[in-house]
Amino acid sequence: MGVQGPFAVKFEDVFPHGAGVVSAVSQQRDFDRSTKENSVQQLDKDSGKPIWIVDVMDFDPEARERTVRVKIIADVQPVPPEQLQGTPVRPVILENLTVMPYQKETGNGRSRIAYSLKATGMSSPKGARHAGGDQGKAA
């Protein structure tokens, strides 16, 4: 089969109604290398860069899962776009988005296809860049 591993997709194809950041960006813990006293950030096996995680809400009213966790592969902690005035919503574009299908157990011996999402940064739908590359680390 020609498709192996994650494959590149357009943000608009995955989130045709848009998406918004609904959590803080945090480090993905490496459970194999971390101890109770010392948490170690997981590194991407392909690039060697740190993995950051953020929860994103799918604005599609028909979405099966409203919130998805996205891994962002970046040298420094990505900074989410600005919040819409008067709301907790931060509309976002995920840059260089890839999808990896996997089998997810749903209980009672059943399973379904689910998707793991990775990106290299995030920006405002208006085009302002808020990625991990040149913004510096968020406070």
pLDDT tens track, the chain, 139 positions: 566 778 999 999 999 999 999 999 999 999 988 888 999 999 999 899 999 999 999 999 998 889 999 999 999 999 999 888 887 789 999 999 999 988 888 888 899 888 899 999 999 997 544 444 434 333 3
Distance CA 67, CA 5 (A): 23
User: How high is the pLDDT of residue 106?
Assistant: 85
Residue 2 lies in a domain: no
Residue 133 lies in a domain: no
Residue 11 lies in a domain: yes
User: How high is the pLDDT of residue 81?
Assistant: 92
User: How high is the pLDDT of residue 48?
Assistant: 96
Residue 116 lies in a domain: yes
Domain that holds residue 40: 7-123
- Cβ neighbors of 129 (< 8 A, separation 6 or more) are 121, 123, 135
Residue 74 lies in a domain: yes
Distance CA 98, CA 8 (A): 4
User: How high is the pLDDT of residue 128?
Assistant: 41
User: How high is the pLDDT of residue 1?
Assistant: 58
- The answer to whether the beta carbons of residues 99 and 115 sit under 8 Å apart is yes
Residue 130 lies in a domain: no
User: How high is the pLDDT of residue 75?
Assistant: 97
Residue 81 lies in a domain: yes
Q: How many domains are contained in the chain?
A: 1
- The answer to whether the beta carbons of residues 73 and 49 sit under 8 Å apart is yes
